[in-house]
Chains A and B, each alone.
Chain A
Amino acid sequence: MRYNLTLAWEGLKRYPRSTILAVLTVAMGLAATMTTLALLHQLTADPLPGRSGHLYLAWVDTVRAKPQQNQSLNDITVENYHRIKWDDAQVLLRDHRATWQAPMASVFTEMTGDGEHAPHRRDYLLATTSEFMPMLGVSLRSGRGWSAAEDAARAPVAIVDSDMAVRLYGTVDVLGRGLKLGHGVFRIIGVTAPFSPQPHFYDLSAITFSGSQRDMAFVPLGALLDAGVDLASSDACDENGPKKSTLFGTDAAHCSSLSYWVDLPDGKAVADFRAYLQHYAENQQSLAGYGKSARAELTGVGAWLSKQNVVPDNVRLNAWLAGSFLLLCMANVAGLLAARFLRRGAEIGIRRALGAPRSAIFQQHVFEAALICLVGGVLALPLTLFGLWTLRLQASGFTDLARLDPAMFVALFALALVVGIVTGWLPAWRASRVEPGLQVKSA
């Protein structure tokens, strides 16, 4: 091993020009691949490790209107229904068939502190019910969450993000203070640490990926509606509803505007809940006459994210492009190595004639190839960081996530090693085939 390493190192030094060329080529290929993979890795990471595996989005279609069937030839998808009406959410909450469940909607609204000349700020808050906390695993810095009883009583209580607390009150010590939302005053009962899963999977209509935007407060849905704050958007509304959905807000009672998430521990629970939802949809008498079949769906987090095309196709395409570029670089380096190894034909022949087995020759050359690629990997690191930095300069909503985490850092070197061994295989094999006698004669 030591001997092989020494030989490999000596080999590198013997042809400095081709060594530099090979190292640069490998570094370029690795950096391109690593840059695109790092971004892809960040974008496809599990938003809530350990939890998202048993979270499901529940949907029933109870909108009293004809289904929209406009097909678009402009790649605009109309059919992305996934939200339910407040009335249905209340029934599902009451039935309580899942371990935990909560309707959710992110709302962009004005938040004002207490006192005169209180600072105010418009930002996102999450309107939901009490069980969001154990379900999503939101952790509190201080105070408590609200209870199901407070949900039922539509109690005006709120949990704020620690950053928001500092912005509005100048301190994180805000328990018991008032937060003005709409025309109501909500009493702060808890302060959370920043909670920002990427992507914002539980309500993609507001935020998808973002380093800076997140839900800055959590409030009971019923109390928020009582305070006159409307939800932001909806999938569809009842035809005969009194108040329809506008750019100024949507009518939660008559428009499907809530994402309803449930926590189901195992396959049986999932099957049971699915049957329960379908049964619920079939029992909707009010839907008769709108020409709809009873529709209910239960979608896991992974399926939900891929259905919504959360990771842009471009990112995946670029990863493929970079991967094929790496392959090209490897072919190039394999060529450089083959030329270099065969140039040494004479000395390989002498070594073989002196009794070195083929495997020793093979090993030596694979070592040399791996060493070149490892040096390339070291050089690829700053190149990758540079590539990620240029990605971050582009403003396209998700590029601020382009960072290299330690796992990817390790992956880079593993990749470099694998590339080295794969690249060196063929030239090293060719070198080990050199006939001892012939070379000795001609040399």
Chain B
Amino acid sequence: MSLAVMLKILRRHALMPALVLFQVALACAILCNVLFLVWQRVQPMVAPSGLAEDELVLVDQVTSRVRPWTGAEVRAGQLALSHAPGVRSASAALGLPMIGTMMIDYTLQSPRGVKVGVNGYFGEGLVNSLGLQLVAGRDFLPSEYRDFGVNHSSSGIPATSAAEPIIIPQSLATQLFGDQPAVGQILQVPDEPDGHGYQVVGVVRHLMRNQLDMATDGRADNTLLAAKRVGDTAMVGYAVRIDPAMREVALHGIREAIRQAFGPLLSDDIPVKITTYAERRHEALESARAALWLFAGVTLAVLVVTAIGIMGLTGFWVQRRTRQIGIQRALGARRSQVLRYFMVENLLIAGAGVLIGMALAYVANAVLMRHYELPRLPWAYLPIGGAVVLLLGQLAVWSPARRAADAPPVVATRSV
């Protein structure tokens, strides 16, 4: 049957196709946006951390209740931890992966003018303690470290007299310098054009940022290690690399070391947290997981409701046309032709719905973006959402179409 005839039939009974079209368009618009939101939540979960995850124990919130820790106390703690049984190395740190209590905010500008926001990690020997893989350049030299502590609640990062050495991950190097080798390059702070800036001395394979909501769209590795040793500070954490075969012993040893090094002065309000990396990761991604469950529920509900809607409407419509189908069959139309007719008809209606739906998805995203902190919906999501809905439409129409095709030619001779 020609397309023109098909369209003519659709126009004559406009209500049913219009309702299917409307449903398909809405479902497509919702799905495109939900799929995009899902991907935003999934990215921080699948991004490689670059850490020796199995060997890492994170100590966080070592907080005094009376006065800031001195740099000497912080280093004594680091020494005690690195001598604990089962421990391979330990570093005092400000900012740790998967921990949001302390986030260090940098804005870097490359010689090409590219500006990137990154999270920093401070601490002596972090490359070793976190188990990072150097792919170019070198680790910091012991003489390069400068003391830094957190005492002021609104503290800026103090100026230095020469370019400060930093280590960055590969993907950040590519963003900043393109194909050029990163080692030796100088980066500036956009607000301080006269400053000495930072010099890249090493590049690591990966190092995930601790601002997890920003770990999307290729920004998961926007981090840097600065050559800063923890000095006088009100709060400190430790990255401890252990022998995974001795995990329990090591955890016990770490608890003891912290208690002995800081014991009586530890704050009661803010308890020290000593956890394996896996536990901390699980905790940090909890809200993202909850959101994923929610979106999975929405997706399922949208698919089920749309499928039921298409099946119900098509079923009714097929039933109404049973007599015509019978006539066609009596005139020699094969079952496969009848089946194909209904499938193509659905494809036509759903196709139009998907086109409208994709436009709707884009507009909805643009409107939401104006009011809320939401990134722009990439084009790629539109065909994906559209394809899902088209496929769903074909599946939903299969059973009513089969029933129609099964109508025996003899019904044509009966009056309905």
Residue numbers of A with Cβ under 8 A of B are: 18, 21, 25, 28, 32, 68-76, 108, 122, 233-237, 244-248, 250, 313-314, 316-318, 320-321, 324-325, 327-329, 331-332, 334-336, 338-339, 342-343, 394, 396, 426, 430, 442
Cβ of B153 and Cβ of A331 under 8 Å apart?
no
Provided the pairs A246-B153, A325-B302, A328-B305 are in contact, do residues A313 and B372 lie with their beta carbons within 8 angstroms?
Answer: yes
Cβ of B373 and Cβ of A75 under 8 Å apart?
yes
Provided the pairs A324-B30, A328-B30, A442-B416 are in contact, do residues A342 and B23 lie with their beta carbons within 8 angstroms?
Answer: no
Given contacts A72-B117, A73-B107, A321-B33, 7 further A-B contacts (CB under 8 A): A74-B103, A248-B66, A317-B372, A320-B364, A328-B305, A328-B306, A332-B306
Which residue of B19, B119, B298 contacts A331 across the interface (Cβ within 8 Å)?
A: B19
Size of B's binding interface in residues, CB under 8 A: 65
Q: Which of A246, A320, A331, A426 has the most CB of B within 10 A?
A: A331
Which residue of A72, A317, A335 contacts B368 across the interface (Cβ within 8 Å)?
A: A317
Provided the pairs A245-B154, A313-B372, A394-B287 are in contact, do residues A339 and B116 lie with their beta carbons within 8 angstroms?
Answer: no
Cβ of A313 and Cβ of B373 under 8 Å apart?
yes
Cβ of B26 and Cβ of A324 under 8 Å apart?
yes
Does B217 sit within 8 A of A, measured CB to CB?
no
Cβ of B23 and Cβ of A233 under 8 Å apart?
no
Inside 8 A of B30's CB, which chain A residues have their CB? 321, 324-325, 328
Inside 8 A of A18's CB, which chain B residues have their CB? 312
Inside 8 A of A335's CB, which chain B residues have their CB? 16, 19-20, 23, 309, 312-313
Inside 8 A of B68's CB, which chain A residues have their CB? 246-248
Does B191 sit within 8 A of A, measured CB to CB?
yes
Cβ of B374 and Cβ of A74 under 8 Å apart?
no
Does B290 sit within 8 A of A, measured CB to CB?
yes
Which residues of B from 9 to 33 have beta carbons under 8 Å from A? Answer: 15-16, 19-20, 22-23, 26-27, 29-30, 33
Interchain CA distance A122-B34 in the complex, whole Å: 43
Cβ of B291 and Cβ of A314 under 8 Å apart?
yes
10 contacts between A and B (CB under 8 A): A74-B103, A75-B373, A108-B269, A245-B152, A314-B291, A324-B26, A328-B306, A332-B309, A335-B20, A336-B309
Residue numbers of B with Cβ under 8 A of A are: 15-16, 19-20, 22-23, 26-27, 29-30, 33-34, 37, 63, 66-68, 103, 105, 107, 115-119, 150-154, 156, 190-191, 211, 213-214, 234-235, 268-269, 287, 290-291, 294, 298, 301-302, 305-306, 308-309, 312-313, 315-317, 320, 364, 368, 371-374, 415-416
Interchain CA distance A70-B364 in the complex, whole Å: 33
Shortest distance from the beta carbon of B212 to any chain A beta carbon, whole Å? 12
Provided the pairs A21-B308, A339-B313 are in contact, do residues A247 and B153 lie with their beta carbons within 8 angstroms?
Answer: yes
- For A233, give the chain B residue with the smallest CB separation: B153
Shortest distance from the beta carbon of A308 to any chain B beta carbon, whole Å? 14
Interchain CA distance A339-B368 in the complex, whole Å: 35
Cβ of B287 and Cβ of A246 under 8 Å apart?
no
Inside 8 A of B119's CB, which chain A residues have their CB? 74
Interchain CA distance A71-B309 in the complex, whole Å: 50
Cβ of A74 and Cβ of B214 under 8 Å apart?
yes
- For B360, give the chain A residue with the smallest CB separation: A324
Inside 8 A of A32's CB, which chain B residues have their CB? 298, 301
Interchain CA distance A390-B342 in the complex, whole Å: 42
Cβ of A25 and Cβ of B305 under 8 Å apart?
yes
Inside 8 A of A245's CB, which chain B residues have their CB? 152-154
Cβ of B312 and Cβ of A339 under 8 Å apart?
yes
Cβ of A246 and Cβ of B416 under 8 Å apart?
no
Interchain CA distance A108-B190 in the complex, whole Å: 38
Interchain CA distance A442-B323 in the complex, whole Å: 13
Which residue of A69, A73, A336, A430 contacts B15 across the interface (Cβ within 8 Å)?
A: A430
Cβ of B368 and Cβ of A320 under 8 Å apart?
yes
Inside 8 A of A21's CB, which chain B residues have their CB? 308, 312
Which residue of A68, A73, A318, A325 contacts B117 across the interface (Cβ within 8 Å)?
A: A73
Closest CB pairs A-B (n = 6): A73-B117, A339-B316, A247-B234, A332-B309, A74-B117, A313-B372
Interchain CA distance A338-B314 in the complex, whole Å: 12
Cβ of B298 and Cβ of A321 under 8 Å apart?
yes
Shortest distance from the beta carbon of B191 to any chain A beta carbon, whole Å? 6
Provided the pairs A234-B153, A321-B298, A328-B306 are in contact, do residues A71 and B27 lie with their beta carbons within 8 angstroms?
Answer: no
Inside 8 A of B190's CB, which chain A residues have their CB? 71
Interchain CA distance A57-B371 in the complex, whole Å: 24
Provided the pairs A70-B191, A336-B312, A338-B19 are in contact, do residues A244 and B152 lie with their beta carbons within 8 angstroms?
Answer: yes
Inside 8 A of B116's CB, which chain A residues have their CB? 73
Inside 8 A of B305's CB, which chain A residues have their CB? 25, 28, 325, 328-329, 332
Interchain CA distance A327-B156 in the complex, whole Å: 50
Shortest distance from the beta carbon of B113 to any chain A beta carbon, whole Å? 14
Cβ of A325 and Cβ of B214 under 8 Å apart?
no
Cβ of B19 and Cβ of A73 under 8 Å apart?
no
Shortest distance from the beta carbon of B37 to any chain A beta carbon, whole Å? 8
- For A28, give the chain B residue with the smallest CB separation: B301
Inside 8 A of B368's CB, which chain A residues have their CB? 317, 320
Which residue of A316, A324, A394 contacts B372 across the interface (Cβ within 8 Å)?
A: A316
Q: Which of B33, B67, B234, B301 has the most CB of A within 10 A?
A: B301
Cβ of B67 and Cβ of A248 under 8 Å apart?
yes
Q: Which of B23, B68, B191 has the most CB of A within 10 A?
A: B23
Shortest distance from the beta carbon of A32 to any chain B beta carbon, whole Å? 8
Provided the pairs A247-B151, A321-B30 are in contact, do residues A332 and B23 lie with their beta carbons within 8 angstroms?
Answer: yes
Cβ of B309 and Cβ of A331 under 8 Å apart?
yes
